[in-house]
């Protein structure tokens, strides 16, 4: 009888609620969206409470966004705040403490302080809300969200038995970036999906339909391929991938590299190439028989590229434009123009750096200045890179730190990178042997990101999450920072003469 009453009560609540939600969906406006969102939030709240930490890890590298919110922020930022809040609740209730990593906490807090002080002194966050008349607050938001996300990741430890599975989803979630290009191919009937996945990698694909000389770039394949390569290196290592008794591993790695070349981004191929080289030396393979084997394999793979590069798709040719290969002159010119555009901007920006060493420029942008600059650029009155300068998009890692946050921001950021390298080295050397392969890869990946940030492409507002994501996940999987254990004091055995000596 009690079970029957429970079912009836359930129907009495669910049916009217379904009718109300159906009516709200049929008459969409801001109030309807808000009500539906609140209902869905409360319905999924038990799942969010139970799985918030794992969901944060999964969405960290994914393409999913919250298109129903102003600004269409990336979904991981929402779970970062939720997970940190749950961690604070558990800490207050005495159920669970945050994992300690003082080497990382100090530079992270210093960087957060620099960001907050700079934003306060340089016109606020400026997101066109609450009376603000400027732009740029989105960049502040992502830098601080990455810091919040780090503390959310370290709010609880991940059991060693679940470490490999967690790392798998952390990197394989990047496959969702391939959805962005797929949605565009499916046509306008599926464009509503862009409310849930990012548009960042679709522009190169769309430009080919509107501009005659544009190279069709499937940009989402870049991070998708990178995610597969990272997962394989963390799961098997280069030594395991080169195990010829399991050739599918090597074939999958090569397939991911080829797929990444269709993105048309030279940086994507450079990132994966640097990662493979760093991983090779971290694993110490240069001292083994695999050195000549992999060298021969590399020559065999590169030979057809050098011979037939000019016959490959334009996007693939553009990815290889930095290599000394024979490619289509128009594709090479497109790549050279992109590089020259950056060099011109850097030459114009570097003389401005001393003006902002004491107090950074911040991210605040006057919309009138941005509009006038873009119009003048389109009219050919000024150089095209000047609109990027106004918006703070410098395409350079060092400039993305020095210009917005000055010398204090640079000190905090370099301190963070140095502390991160030290912590990941300790995890690799003193961590649990069951996590050796994962810790080796985390160290390689962090070093690769540092090289990439300073010498290939860098943007603090977008790459801060990459640095802090790896550090936070490493601390969580290892249960803190692994340290060298003090040698146990072992009592020296008494000598034979002392044993025979009469008392």
Residues 359 and 464 in one domain: yes
Residues 240 and 387 in one domain: no
pTM above 0.95, yes or no: no
Q: Which of 15, 32, 51 is the last residue of a domain?
A: 51
Residues 245 and 311 in one domain: yes
Residues 175 and 318 in one domain: yes
Phi, psi of 135 (to 5 degrees): -105, 180
Residue 478 counted as domain residue: yes
pLDDT score of 492 more than 60:
no
Q: What is the pLDDT of residue 463?
A: 94
Contact status, residue 310 vs residue 328, Cβ threshold 8 Å? yes
Residue 190 counted as domain residue: yes
- Sign (positive or negative) of CA dihedral 299, 304, 307, 308: negative
Residues 124 and 149 in one domain: yes
Give the domain range for residue 209: 162-327
Residues in the chain: 503
Gyration radius from the chain CA atoms: 26
Residue 243 counted as domain residue: yes
Question: How many CB atoms neighbour CB 350 within 10 A?
Answer: 14
Please name which of 213, 237, 166, 259 lies closest in space to residue 473, comparing C-alpha atoms: 166
pLDDT score of 104 more than 50:
yes
Residue 10: pLDDT band with limits 50, 70, 90: low
Report the C-alpha gap between 218 and 191 in whole angstroms.
17
Read off the tokens for 169.
């989803």
Residues 377 and 323 in one domain: no
pLDDT score of 240 more than 90:
yes
DSSP 3-state of 468? helix
pLDDT (mean) for 364-377 = 69
Report the C-alpha gap between 150 and 465 in whole angstroms.
8
Residue 493 counted as domain residue: no
pLDDT above 70: percentage of residues in the chain? 83
Residues 388 and 273 in one domain: no
- H/E run at residue 8: helix 2-26
Choice among 61-70, 77-86, 154-163 with the minimum mean pLDDT: 61-70
Domain count, the chain: 3
Residues 174 and 323 in one domain: yes
pLDDT (mean) for 229-239 = 95
Residues 188 and 311 in one domain: yes
Residue 323 counted as domain residue: yes
Give 401-442 pLDDT, tens digit per residue: 999 999 999 999 999 999 999 999 999 999 999 999 999 999
Residues 174 and 138 in one domain: no
Choice among 110-119, 184-193, 443-452, 467-476 with the minimum mean pLDDT: 184-193
Q: Which of 30, 51, 72 is the last residue of a domain?
A: 51
Read off the tokens for 272.
């994966």
Residue 333 counted as domain residue: no
Residues 23 and 169 in one domain: no
Choice among 2-6, 120-124, 256-260, 300-304 with the minimum mean pLDDT: 2-6
More reliable by pLDDT, 68 or 470 = 470
Q: Which of 297, 327, 357 is the last residue of a domain?
A: 327
pLDDT score of 237 more than 60:
yes
First to last CA, the chain: 87
Task: Give the CA distances from residue 219 to residues 138, 265, 272, 449, in Å, rounded to whole numbers and listed in that order.
Answer: 22, 7, 15, 19
Choice among 341-355, 385-399, 467-481 with the minimum mean pLDDT: 385-399
Residue 66 counted as domain residue: no
Strand runs labelled E in 431-490: none
How would DSSP label each residue in 87-110? HHHHHHTTS--PPP-HHHHHHHHH
Residues 402 and 460 in one domain: yes
Residue 402 counted as domain residue: yes
């Amino acid at each position: 009888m009690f079970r029957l009453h429970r079912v009836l009560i359930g129907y009495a609540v669910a049916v009217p609620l379904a009718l109300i939600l159906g009516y709200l969906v049929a008459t969409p406006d801001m109030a309807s969206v808000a009500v539906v969102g609140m209902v869905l939030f409360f319905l999924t709240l038990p799942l969010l409470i139970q799985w918030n930490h794992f969901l944060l890890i999964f969405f960290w590298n994914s393409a999913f966004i919250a298109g129903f919110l102003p600004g269409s922020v990336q979904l991981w930022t929402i779970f970062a705040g939720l997970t940190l809040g749950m961690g604070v609740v558990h800490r207050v209730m005495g159920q669970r403490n945050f994992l300690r990593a003082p080497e990382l906490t100090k530079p992270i807090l210093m960087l957060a302080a620099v960001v907050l002080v700079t934003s306060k002194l340089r016109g606020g966050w400026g997101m066109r809300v609450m009376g603000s008349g400027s732009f740029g607050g989105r960049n502040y938001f992502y830098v601080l969200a990455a810091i919040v996300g780090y503390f959310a990741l370290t709010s609880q430890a991940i059991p060693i038995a679940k470490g490999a599975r967690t790392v798998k989803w952390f990197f394989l979630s990047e496959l969702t970036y391939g959805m962005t290009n797929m949605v565009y191919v499916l046509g306008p009937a599926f464009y509503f999906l862009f409310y849930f996945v990012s548009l960042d990698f679709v522009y190169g694909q769309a430009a080919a339909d509107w501009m005659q000389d544009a190279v069709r770039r499937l940009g989402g394949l870049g991070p998708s391929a990178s995610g597969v390569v990272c997962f394989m290196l963390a799961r098997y290592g280069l030594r395991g991938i080169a195990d010829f008794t399991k050739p599918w591993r090597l074939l999958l790695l090569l397939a991911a590299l080829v797929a990444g070349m269709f993105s048309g981004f030279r940086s994507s191929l450079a990132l994966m190439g640097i990662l493979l080289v760093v991983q090779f030396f971290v694993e110490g393979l240069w001292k083994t028989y695999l050195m000549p084997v992999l060298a021969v394999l590399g020559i065999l793979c590169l030979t057809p590229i050098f011979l037939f590069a000019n016959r490959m798709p334009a996007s693939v040719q553009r990815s290889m434009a930095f290599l000394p290969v024979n490619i289509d002159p128009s594709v090479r010119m497109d790549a050279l123009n992109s590089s020259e555009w950056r060099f011109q901007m850097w030459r114009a920006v570097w003389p401005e750096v001393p003006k902002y060493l004491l107090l950074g420029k911040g991210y605040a942008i006057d919309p009138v200045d941005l509009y006038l600059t873009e119009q003048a650029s389109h009219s050919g009155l000024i150089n095209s890179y000047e609109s990027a300068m106004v918006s703070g998009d410098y395409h350079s890692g060092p400039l993305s730190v020095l210009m917005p946050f000055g010398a204090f921001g640079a000190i905090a950021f370099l301190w963070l990178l140095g502390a991160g390298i030290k912590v990941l080295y300790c995890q690799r050397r003193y961590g649990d042997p069951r996590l050796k392969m994962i810790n080796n890869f985390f160290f390689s990946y962090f070093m690769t990101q540092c090289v990439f940030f300073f010498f290939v492409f860098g943007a603090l507002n977008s790459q801060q999450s990459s640095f802090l994501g790896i550090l936070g996940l490493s601390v969580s999987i290892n249960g803190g920072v692994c340290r060298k254990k003090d040698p146990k004091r072992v009592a020296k055995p008494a000598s034979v003469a002392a044993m025979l000596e009469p008392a």
